[in-house]
Chains A and B, each alone.
Chain A
Amino acid sequence: MLSVAASAIPRLRLAAPPRPRLPPARTHWLRPLSSATQVPPAAAAGAPGSLEPPDLPRLASAARISLSPQEAEELEPKIRQFVDWFGQLQAVDLESIEPSIRAGTAAGSSLREDKPEAFVNRDAIVEAIPSYDEPYIKVPRVLNKE
């Protein structure tokens, strides 16, 4: 699945090449999107449009995916393309743009009244639980491991 997605990464086209300058201060919030939260700011902000290369073993463990060293090696350049794409986004000049917290969705109120409504097909949910031990969901033993 990953390889299919990775092969179709669009390249971001910039109308003009980015000016060589330090990224604006507020781009720091974008960093957690990459895997580079523990990278010193200087490293991430080093060259415009470049981000820390992905650490495949760490990403895999964060996603609870097992990867063989060979798979990791194969995937690395593909994931790097994603990261580079964000690198290009980082380089866009946003100086004159009003920051938007997030993309807007539905217009108007999207809130719900505090009125209860029990889900009618509870049996179907329970049936879909892989391991059920009435009335609990059964899971492998966990003891305070995060």
Chain B
Amino acid sequence: MALTLLRGMRTSIPFRSNSGMFFTVLRPQLSRFTTRATESAQATEPKAAPKSIQLATKEAAEQKTQGFEAVIGIETHVQLSTVTKAFCSCPYNYGSQPNSTICPTCMGHPGTLPVLNEKVIECAVKLGLALNCEISMTSKFDRKQYFYPDLPKGYQISQFDIPIAKKGYVDLDLPVEFGGGHRKFGITRVHMEEDAGKLLHSESGSYSQVDLNRAGVPLLEIVSEPDMRTGIEAAEYGAELQRIVRYLGVSNGNMQEGSLRCDVNVSVRPVGQSEFGTKVEIKNMNSFSEINRAIDYEISRQILLHKEGQADQIVQETRLWDESSQKTFTMRKKEGLADYRYFPEPDLPEVVLTADYIDEISKSMPELPEAKRRRYENMGLSMQDVLFLANDDNVAHFFDSTLEHGADAKLACNWIMGDIAAYLKNEKLSINETKLTPLELSELIASIKNGTISGKIGKEILVELIAKGGTVKGVIEEKDLVQIADPAAIEAMVDKVIADNPKQLEQYRAGKTKLQGFFAGQVMKASKGKANPVLLNKILGEKLNAN
């Protein structure tokens, strides 16, 4: 919705100089980030030759875009997880009976007055700080007027010329499988506003249906600078915002429920041109991978039109992403600028913040995804590990507590990314919904490290702990799982297996040495998986090769 707002700003005199400045700054900025990304990747993964991978993907992308570059900006609406609405005390719960949580204020009845929920300001300041923004000590609300049946008052209470936060940036790391790299994208502004109701278009009927439960629910709108160039950059920007709002606890960031909605603006221009091309808005993307694909589709569509000399066919419009056909379709053409006739909301006082208030919030801020990633990177974890752990607040927390109990970072990470993640995926659980505790994971790692149990037994114990709970010690005792590390005991088992398999022994001694694996398997089986594998192989080798 702020699309037109921004457009209006760019054309107005005080902002034009601003956007001009942006171009001169942008290019050196981007090249700096690329360099930094390459450096950090080299530092962490010296073997993987990341430079060549990155160059390769960059070249491939350039070849595909053939002298054109895409410019992408994103408007994100985040629904706040407050208990009540922004301006009245109605509770809000997703999925409630339609029109059950409504009152005269959110229904826009005459004579009602809005009273701002203090939590909305707290959330806005938290997000503003997390996005490295300047916080406006004084801001105000404005009325944005338009007629639509999901908007009972005929205007949306929003913030127009003085948003609560502005001029920030967000840092992120692209996934390794997409070539990796560190990026920094500018945040133009963050402002507070209220959501509209939900409009349902009955397919057969000649009327539409409105549910006003959502009317008046607080939103934060985050407007990015047009700093993104590819679908994956845009998708990762969205994913990073989702991580940040979840880390902060200001929103559940759920895209399917519409708690996080991204409207993407895409334009294409010949490389080297400073003016933007005509921008097209894309809506209706329900996941970050859809954002990625929708943008890449739209970029190729626009480049193709440019190359065919039909650039004039690119018009300012809203297009919808259609997941089934993997294409974007015209939803509506923009007919001139919408005139929202903004004016200051007379029913609400200005929002005045104190330095103490902001200080208090800054002190209460959790460690954010970017800081977490850099900390994990410094532990020597690979970028893939770092991104996995920092992706989910709960996983990162679990990992951190496991380390607090003395576990080795790489080993703890391997368990979490391997067996634990596989189990969670299978059972569709989150890490804090299982019975496994960080303390027991650290115990498990320690028991393997000190030789009490083998790695293989460790995996069995993990399944037990994660499903039923209990302690590592308890499971080891109960199931008699202590590793057999007594050479005499292992030797006895080896002798028995060799004696039981004379045919294989003959073949082995005739040169089929691969059969050592067979013997090792038989011994391991005989020990119920408890034999120390290193010791086993050593003794077995000696016995097989002895004449």
Contact = CB atoms under 8 A, between A and B. Distances in A.
Binding between chains A and B: yes
Interface string A127-140: 01000010111111
A118 to B, nearest CB: 7
A95 B257 CA distance: 50
A125 B162 contact: no
A110 B118 CA distance: 9
A70 to B, nearest CB: 25
A116 B209 contact: no
Contacts of B90: 116-119
B146 A137 contact: no
Nearest to B318: A144
Contacts, number: 135
A142 B199 contact: yes
B103 A119 contact: yes
Interface in A10-46: 28-29, 32-33, 37-38, 41
B103 A125 contact: yes
Contact of B208 (A110, A113, A142): A142
Contacts of B339: 37-38, 62
Interface string B23-64: 000000000000000000000000000000000000000000
Contacts of A140: 149, 207-208
A106 interface: yes
B117 A114 contact: yes
Interface string B334-360: 000111011110101110000000000
- Scoring A33, A41, A64, A125 by chain B CB atoms within 10 A of each residue's CB, the highest score goes to A125
Contact of A146 (B98, B101, B338): B338
B188 interface: no
Contacts of B346: 102-103
A7 B84 CA distance: 44
A119 B208 contact: no
Contact of A144 (B101, B138, B139, B332): B332
Nearest to A112: B115
Contacts of A138: 207-210
B115 A111 contact: yes
Contacts of A101: 138-140, 162, 344, 350
Interface in B305-357: 331-332, 337-339, 341-344, 346, 348-350
A119 B206 CA distance: 32
Given A32-B341, A119-B103, A142 B119 contact: no
Interface string B182-217: 000000000000000001110001111111100000
B300 interface: no
B17 to A, nearest CB: 13
B104 interface: yes
Nearest to B87: A112
Given A112-B118, A119-B90, A136 B98 contact: yes
Interface of A is mostly: loop
Contacts of A128: 109
Contacts of A137: 99, 149, 209-212
Interface string A76-97: 0000000000000000000000
Contacts of B341: 32, 37, 62
B148 A142 contact: yes
B342 A143 contact: no
Nearest to A142: B208
B89 A115 contact: yes
Contacts of A126: 99
Given A102-B350, A111-B121, A113-B118, A118 B91 contact: yes
B170 interface: no
A77 B101 CA distance: 45
Nearest to A111: B118
B117 A122 contact: no
Interface of B is mostly: loop
Interface residues on A, range: 35 or more
Nearest to B149: A139
B224 interface: no
B337 A38 contact: yes
Given A28-B12, A32-B341, A101-B350, A135 B103 contact: no
A125 B215 CA distance: 15
Contact of B344 (A102, A115, A117): A102
Contacts of B199: 139, 142
Interface string B87-116: 001110000011111111001010000011
Contact of B118 (A114, A133, A144): A114
Contacts of A64: 147
Nearest to B105: A119
Nearest to A135: B98
A110 B8 CA distance: 32
A111 B117 contact: yes
Given A101-B138, A102-B350, A146-B146, A136 B209 contact: yes
Given A33-B343, A112-B116, A114-B119, A139 B207 contact: yes
Nearest to B338: A146
Contacts of A136: 98-99, 200, 209-211
Contacts of A28: 12-14
Contacts of A125: 102-104, 107, 109
B385 to A, nearest CB: 38
Nearest to B349: A105
A29 to B, nearest CB: 6
A140 B201 CA distance: 10
Contacts of B99: 126, 135-137
12 contacts: A38-B339, A102-B346, A110-B348, A112-B115, A112-B116, A112-B118, A116-B84, A125-B104, A137-B209, A139-B207, A141-B208, A146-B146
Given A117-B90, A122-B100, A133-B207, 7 more contacts: A112-B89, A112-B118, A113-B117, A118-B103, A125-B102, A141-B205, A146-B148
